[in-house]
Amino acid sequence: MQNGITPTIYYCNPNIYPHEEYEIRKEECTRYAEALGLEIIDADYDHENWLQSIAGLENEPERGGRCLKCFKLRLKRTAQYAAEHGFKVITTTLASSRWKSLEQINEAGQWACEQICNDSGEPSVVWWDRNWRKGGLQERRLQILKEYDFYNQLYCGCEFSKREL
């Protein structure tokens, strides 16, 4: 697509609540992927498993331990899928959000890739830790939101961040 890279979107968002919100966001992502001719893979919605995995962290603030745990869970699933399907590099749109900690995202991404190793014990996929907020990319994000008339949510997705509004 650009720079010899054609992304595939792995939609892994078991944190989003309620299910209707998940569906709205998935449909918006799908609409954009189709407009660009990109493949989108739905990792399926397993909110109950997500709740179990962050148990005890419900009262953490935004950018706290709950977010790091959430990122690790989702990016490990992404790295696993990538390794199983021949992808060599992963990244995330989470890194474009000014509401999220880039340090946490990069820590989780690096950790996730280190968990998924080949037979030689080397990571099967590489984490691309690009800062998607710089170099005009934030402005491009805003342009795309307007151009495609995207739904713009007011919380990260989980019920605990929604509660903080």
pLDDT digits (tens, 9 = 90+) for 16-33: 999 999 999 999 999 999
| pLDDT tens digit sequence for 65-85 | 999 999 999 999 999 999 999
How much is the pTM? 0.92
Alpha-carbon 116 to chain mean position: 17
What's the pLDDT score for residue 130? Answer: 80
What's the pLDDT score for residue 86? Answer: 95
Residue 40's nearest CA partner among 25, 18, 20 is: 25
- How far apart are alpha carbons 11 and 78 in whole angstroms? 9
- How far apart are alpha carbons 133 and 161 in whole angstroms? 21
164 — pLDDT class (breaks 50, 70, 90): low
Q: How far is CA 97 from CA 14, 38, 80, in A?
A: 18, 21, 24
